Structure 1
Amino acid sequence: MTGHVTAPPAALADRLPDWVTLLRAPNPGPMTLEGTNTWVLRAPGAPHAVVVDPGPADEAHLAAVAASGPIGFVLITHGHPDHTEGAPRLSELLGGAPVLAVDPAHTIGGPPLTGAGTQLGGTGLDIDLVDTPGHTADSVCFRVSYGTEQVVLTGDTILGRGTTVVAHPDGHLGDYLSSLERLSAYQGIPALPGHGPALADCGAAADFYLAHRQARLDQVRAAVDAGARTAAEVVATVYADVDRSLWWAAEWSVRAQLEHLGVEQP
Structure 2
Amino acid sequence: MSLAYEQLRQVTPLAGVVLADNPSAMTLDGTNTWLLRDEPSRRQAVVVDPGPDDDRHLSSVLQAAGSVPLILLTHGHADHSEGARRLHELTGAPVLALDPAHRYGAEGLAEGAVLDGAGVQIQVWATPGHTADSLSFVIPGQVPGEGHTVAVLTGDTILGRGSTVVAHPDGVLADYLDSLRRLATLDGVAVLPGHGPELADAGTAARGYLAHREQRLAQVRQALAQGGPELSAMDVVRRVYADVDPVLWPAAEWSVKAQLAYLRAEGF
TM-score scaled to structure 1, two decimals?
0.90
Show structure 1 runs of 4+ deviating over 4 A: none
Partner residue, 1:49: 45
Q: Deviations over 1:89-128 (max 9, x none)?
A: 111221x1101000011001111211x2210124321210
CA distance in 2, matches of 1:260, 1:237: 18
Distance apart, 1:170 and its partner CA = 0.4
Partner residue, 2:72: 75
CA contact (8 A) 2:70 2:117 kept: no
Give % identity: 56
Distance apart, 1:159 and its partner CA = 0.1
CA distance in 1, matches of 2:238, 2:225: 15
The structure whose RCO (Cα within 8 Å, separation 6+) is larger is 1
Residue 130 in 1 paired to residue 125 in 2?
Answer: yes
TM-score scaled to structure 2, two decimals?
0.89
Equivalent positions of 1:244-263 (< 5 A) are 244-262=246-264
Equivalent positions of 1:1-266 (< 5 A) are 16-44=11-39, 48-67=44-63, 68-94=65-91, 96-114=92-110, 116-145=111-140, 146-147=142-143, 150-228=150-228, 229-262=231-264
Q: Secondary structure at the match of 2:21?
A: coil
Letter in 1 for 2:61: V
CA distance in 2, matches of 1:240, 1:47: 49
Distance apart, 1:46 and its partner CA = 5.5
CA contact (8 A) 2:36 2:118 kept: no
Aligned residues: 248
Q: Secondary structure at the match of 2:69?
A: strand
CA distance in 2, matches of 1:47, 1:58: 22
Distance apart, 1:48 and its partner CA = 3.4
Q: Secondary structure at the match of 1:153?
A: strand
CA contact (8 A) 1:46 1:124 kept: no
CA distance in 1, matches of 2:16, 2:117: 19
CA distance in 2, matches of 1:164, 1:20: 23
Letter in 2 for 1:167: A
Deviates more, 1:80-89 or 1:121-130: 121-130
Identify unmatched segments of 5+ residues in structure 1. 1-14
Partner residue, 2:7: none
CA distance in 2, matches of 1:121, 1:70: 15
RMSD: 1.6
Letter in 1 for 2:72: L
Identify unmatched segments of 5+ residues in structure 2. 1-9
